[in-house]
């Protein structure tokens, strides 16, 4: 099993050391794990790695690579925040630290005349002005040339009707393959809450993202896919990945990719699933 999106206590709103996450991932059957704590950023800086912690973060990963050699492949990643104007800041970080995998995610969106929107503020996600800015930011992220994959591009499905998200995403689908950016299938959409469109209540246990309707279009646009649990706790290591891939394979998903030294490696899904079924790592 491949898990290309995971967090440790370095992200501050997540728990578990690198060692604890790795041990839990091995137990869950993960064979290739990329640790992608939130990179330092100018917004919400107390909820991410601090610049002064990066050396220790990478040292912990190196230590785990050595301790668990032969049991699991561990890769060095970071999840970057993308906002307009953040390119220079993020490029400097990317130049300074050698990574296997760089995720670009949108967590914060500046909407004119409103307090900054966080993508987990579900009741605010369906606003027109927000949607305009979110998808403009996503286009800029895809064009930035900085990242290997977009993290949870479809997280808006927690609070926005699927047809609205699809209509807004469709014009951008060509940019993924053209710019060599992978689309992340983020399994946390299977366990996070979402808004019930009828009642407006926040419900648990609904599959919000990724969109099963969008998948065939992404495949038709020759998009590469990464997959991640987005675990913020060792108890969620590898969580949802098997279920997600079993549901998406019949819809045409044929391969999953991961990145090493910022280069994409494709794994046929049949092989990955056969290994998973036997419970081997
Ligand atoms: Zn994220
Ligand atoms: Zn994350």
With contact defined as beta carbons under 8 Å apart, do 153 and 184 qualify?
A: yes
State whether the Cα torsion 165-45-81-192 is positive or negative.
negative
pLDDT higher than 60, residue 13:
yes
Å from CA of 246 to ligand 2 middle: 22
pLDDT higher than 90, residue 177:
yes
Identify which ligand lies nearest to the alpha carbon of 229: 2
CATH number at residue 32: 3.20.20.140
DSSP 81: E
Confidence label for 165 from pLDDT (cuts 50, 70 and 90) = very high
Biggest distance spanned by C-alpha atoms of the chain: 54
**pLDDT number for residue 273:** 62
Tens digits of per-residue pLDDT, 234-254?
999 999 999 999 999 999 999
Tens digits of per-residue pLDDT, 92-135?
999 999 999 999 999 999 999 999 999 999 999 999 999 999 99
Pairing of β 117-118 and β 108-109: antiparallel
Å from CA of 277 to ligand 2 middle: 26
pLDDT higher than 60, residue 275:
no
Å from CA of 250 to ligand 1 middle: 27
**pLDDT number for residue 199:** 83
Å from CA of 151 to ligand 1 middle: 6
d(CA 36, CA 74): 11
- Number of domains observed in the structure of the chain: 1
pLDDT higher than 80, residue 272:
no
On average, the pLDDT of the chain sits at 95
Identify which ligand lies nearest to the alpha carbon of 151: 1
Which domain covers residue 196, as residue numbers? Answer: 2-278
pLDDT higher than 80, residue 276:
no
Confidence label for 1 from pLDDT (cuts 50, 70 and 90) = very high
Q: Which residues of 237-262 are buried (b: 16+ CB within 10 A; e: fewer)?
A: bbbbbbebbeebeeeebeebbbbeee
**pLDDT number for residue 116:** 97
pLDDT higher than 80, residue 281:
no
SS3 per-residue string spanning 164-219 = HHHHHHHHHHHHHHHCCCEEEEEHHHHCCCEECCCCCCEECCCCCCCCCCCHHHHH
Confidence label for 196 from pLDDT (cuts 50, 70 and 90) = confident
Tens digits of per-residue pLDDT, 73-97?
999 999 999 999 999 999 999 999 9
Tens digits of per-residue pLDDT, 26-66?
999 999 999 999 999 999 999 999 999 999 999 999 999 99
């Amino acid at each position: 099993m491949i898990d290309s999106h995971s967090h440790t206590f370095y992200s501050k709103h997540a728990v578990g050391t690198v060692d604890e996450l790795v041990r839990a991932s091995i137990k869950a059957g993960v064979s290739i794990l990329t640790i992608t704590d939130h990179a330092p950023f100018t917004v919400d800086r107390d909820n991410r790695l601090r610049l002064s912690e990066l050396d220790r973060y990478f040292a912990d990963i190196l230590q785990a690579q050595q301790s668990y050699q032969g049991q699991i492949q561990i890769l060095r990643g970071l999840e970057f925040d993308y906002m307009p104007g953040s390119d220079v800041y993020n490029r400097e970080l990317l130049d300074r630290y050698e990574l296997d995998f760089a995720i670009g995610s949108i967590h914060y969106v500046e909407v004119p005349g409103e307090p900054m929107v966080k993508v987990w503020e579900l009741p605010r996600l369906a606003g027109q002005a927000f949607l305009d800015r979110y998808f403009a930011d996503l286009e800029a992220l895809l064009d930035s040339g900085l990242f290997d994959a977009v993290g949870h591009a479809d997280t808006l499905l927690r609070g926005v009707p699927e047809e609205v998200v699809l209509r807004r995403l469709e014009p951008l689908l060509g940019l993924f393959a053209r710019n060599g950016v992978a689309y992340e299938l983020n399994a946390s959409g299977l366990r996070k809450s979402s808004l019930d469109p009828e009642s407006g209540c926040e419900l648990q246990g609904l599959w919000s993202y990724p969109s099963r309707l969008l998948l065939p279009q992404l495949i038709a646009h020759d998009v590469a896919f990464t997959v991640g649990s987005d675990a913020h706790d060792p108890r969620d290591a590898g969580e949802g990945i098997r279920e997600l891939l079993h549901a998406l394979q019949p819809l045409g998903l044929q391969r999953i990719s991961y990145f090493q030294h910022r280069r994409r490696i494709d794994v046929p899904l049949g092989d990955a699933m056969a290994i998973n079924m036997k419970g081997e790592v």
